[in-house]
Amino acid sequence: MTEVIGNYIKGTQITTTQGDYQDVFNPATGSVSAQVCMSTTEEVDQAVNVATEAAKDWGRTPSPKRAQVMFRFKRLLEENSDKLARIISSEHGKTHDDALGEVVRGLEVVEFACGIPQLIKGTFSEQVADGIDVYSFPQPLGVVAGITPFNFPAMVPMWMYPNALVCGNSFVLKPSERDPSASLFMAELLKQAGLPDGVFNVVQGGKEAVDAILDHPGISAVSFVGSTPIAKYIYTRATSTGKRVQALGGAKNHMVVLPDADMQQVTDALMGSAFGSAGERCMAISVAVPVGDQVADELMERMTPLVKELQVGPPDDKNAAMGALITRDSLNRIEGLIQSGVDQGAELLVDGRGYKVQGYENGFFLGGTLFDKVRPEMEIYKEEVFGPVLSTVRVNDYQEALDLIHNNPYGNGTAIFTRDGDAARDFVSRIEVGMVGVNVPIPVPVAFHSFGGWKQSLFGDHHIYGPETIHFYTRMKAVTSRWPTGIKSGAVYNFPTLN
């Protein structure tokens, strides 16, 4: 009998639904591994109602006690990291080591959340006028929600709910229906850590569940990570109902390679950042930008044999650099984009199509793919490929590299590789991108900074996790107080001043 993956409401897994069921695949084998409930609007409403009730007591729980739950959750995650990584790999297809890395990066945010009580302590100003004191402090919003993508089924939710919970909110998570099991495992660990039932809930599903979250009057804020068209939709629909929204969209990340760069370092960085996790990362480098033909020729000469030798396999293959793509539809879409690059005149140096793994012939595998002489008007450049495809756009000089990045509608991440401190400093200052790496290919900020892009890569005012998380998941209350001994008799009709 096929396993059913359901919702998690009020501390209990629910595997029945009023809606439909959707297949969940093992990408390495191509076979159905389970079915997931596609929640209805009514089932989302049930989860929100439960979260609303739970938020009343949770929001009044002392912040150190809320942090203690997160400390215990952190320990449980560390003890169960291998198991969680195997759950991720079985539904996502990424290698086990890559999945472990995802868990570790998520744990960094949990660690940050443990320190949130210090960040929400408020401010106090004594005697701003005769007998008058003013103080302000943040309070939780109530019920908040997260809608998360398939590519990081553990880490991206951990960008959201640990911070939201310690800030005093209850949380409703809608994970990707493609790899839904990690969310339930984390929900069970939160319960073991002492989180009261109903404070954290999971609703599985597709568009109906998403729209129910966006429209629900009981939800105060929505966090989202995904593609740009959906991010824009999420932002527009949710803000129209008065919600706070942080919607992180797509990316087209460029790596500029100056003539003085260490080419071995560049090659290593490009291989890892373009092909790690089969390129299914919003921070993957998908465009190499060598400055000058001499740099480009040397880079292609170095990269071509490495991409050809790139080993692809199932999660338990210790020699595999990357695993399968998430679905057959994704594989077909990326293969179509590769063909468009060929048809439009790009030079295909390494073609990863048709890659077969012995014993896993039905898996959704695509080998590493390398293009040279890609032009900005080509579909392979304009589209967010989200696969193991590296496009090379040659430019004549540094300014042309800047213009290429600035003319792209995305502004998520970028990198420059150089030994020239002046050039690096100029790049960091001038580039219109939210996250920048200097000789670092995937500049994902550590947990005590915040993550977010510019332009079409972010809709909303706040980046995700780090210091900005406090502003997003709380609202400020300011109190002006004066006690009877300081009050003079008589009404005052003019606007109050300090005089």
Contact partners, residue 88, CB within 8 Å, separation at least 6 = 94, 99, 102, 103, 153, 154, 179, 182
Query: Collapsing DSSP states into helix, strand and coil, what is residue 202?
Result: strand
Side-chain-side CA neighbours of 428 within 13 Å: the count stands at 14
For residues 276 and 270, give the distance between their C-alpha atoms in angstroms, rounded to a whole number: 10
Does residue 464 contact residue 108 with C-beta atoms inside 8 Å? no
Phi/psi of residue 258, each to 5°? Answer: -85, 160
Average pLDDT for 458-483: 96
For residues 351 and 339, give the distance between their C-alpha atoms in angstroms, rounded to a whole number: 10
For residues 161 and 157, give the distance between their C-alpha atoms in angstroms, rounded to a whole number: 6
The pLDDT tens digits for 44-90 are 999 999 999 999 999 999 999 999 999 999 999 999 999 999 999 99
Residue 486 has pLDDT above 70, yes or no: no
Does residue 253 contact residue 285 with C-beta atoms inside 8 Å? yes
Residue 455 has pLDDT above 80, yes or no: yes
Helix (H) or strand (E) holding 470: helix 468-473
Both structure tokens of 355: 């890659």
Residue 158 has pLDDT above 90, yes or no: yes
Angle between helices 155-166 and 96-114 (to 10 degrees): 10
* β-strand partners of 257: 290, 417
Residue 209 has pLDDT above 80, yes or no: yes
Residue 487 has pLDDT above 70, yes or no: no
* β-strand partners of 254: 287, 414
Domains and CATH numbers, the chain: 3-249+467-479 (3.40.605.10), 253-438 (3.40.309.10)
Residue 496 — pLDDT band, cuts 50, 70, 90? confident
Residue 484 has pLDDT above 90, yes or no: no
Average pLDDT for 268-274: 97
Catalytic-role residue among 37, 114, 167, 282: 282
For residues 363 and 94, give the distance between their C-alpha atoms in angstroms, rounded to a whole number: 12
Average pLDDT score, the chain: 96
Does residue 370 contact residue 275 with C-beta atoms inside 8 Å? no
For residues 190 and 53, give the distance between their C-alpha atoms in angstroms, rounded to a whole number: 18
Of 100, 85, 69, 146, which Cα lies nearest the Cα of 464?
146
Residue 349 — pLDDT band, cuts 50, 70, 90? very high
Share of the chain above pLDDT 70, in %: 99
Give me the residue label for tokens 């002492």: 194
- CA distances from residue 101 to 104, 227, 271 in whole angstroms, order as listed: 5, 23, 17
Both structure tokens of 255: 């790596």
* pLDDT (0 to 100) of residue 147: 98
Residue 168 has pLDDT above 80, yes or no: yes
The pLDDT tens digits for 288-341 are 999 999 999 999 999 999 999 999 999 999 999 999 999 999 999 999 999 999
Average pLDDT for 427-449: 96
- Please confirm, yes or no, whether 37 is among the known catalytic residues: no
- CA distances from residue 154 to 98, 179, 206, 384 in whole angstroms, order as listed: 12, 10, 18, 22
Residue 413 has pLDDT above 70, yes or no: yes
Distance in Å from the first CA to the final CA of the chain = 78
* pLDDT (0 to 100) of residue 233: 98
For residues 454 and 428, give the distance between their C-alpha atoms in angstroms, rounded to a whole number: 14
For residues 129 and 150, give the distance between their C-alpha atoms in angstroms, rounded to a whole number: 55
For residues 118 and 451, give the distance between their C-alpha atoms in angstroms, rounded to a whole number: 21
CA angle 85, 150, 213 (to 5 degrees): 120
Side-chain-side CA neighbours of 339 within 13 Å: the count stands at 8
Angle between helices 421-430 and 398-406 (to 10 degrees): 20
The pLDDT tens digits for 12-51 are 999 988 989 999 999 999 999 999 999 999 999 999 999 9
The DSSP result for 229-297, as a single string, is HHHHHHHHHHHTTT-EEEEE----EEEEE-TTS-HHHHHHHHHHHHHGGGG--TT-EEEEEEBSHHHHH
* pLDDT (0 to 100) of residue 490: 75
* pLDDT (0 to 100) of residue 493: 77
* Sign of the dihedral defined by the CA atoms of residues 376, 377, 382, 385, in that order: negative
For residues 16 and 39, give the distance between their C-alpha atoms in angstroms, rounded to a whole number: 9
For the purposes of burial, counting CB atoms within 10 Å of the CB of 217, is it exposed (0-12), middle (13-18) or buried (19 or more)? Answer: exposed
For residues 407 and 62, give the distance between their C-alpha atoms in angstroms, rounded to a whole number: 49
The pLDDT tens digits for 82-134 are 999 999 999 999 999 999 999 999 999 999 999 999 999 999 999 998 889 99
Does residue 110 contact residue 213 with C-beta atoms inside 8 Å? no
Share of the chain above pLDDT 90, in %: 95
Distance of CA 21 to the CA centre of its chain: 26
* pLDDT (0 to 100) of residue 492: 74
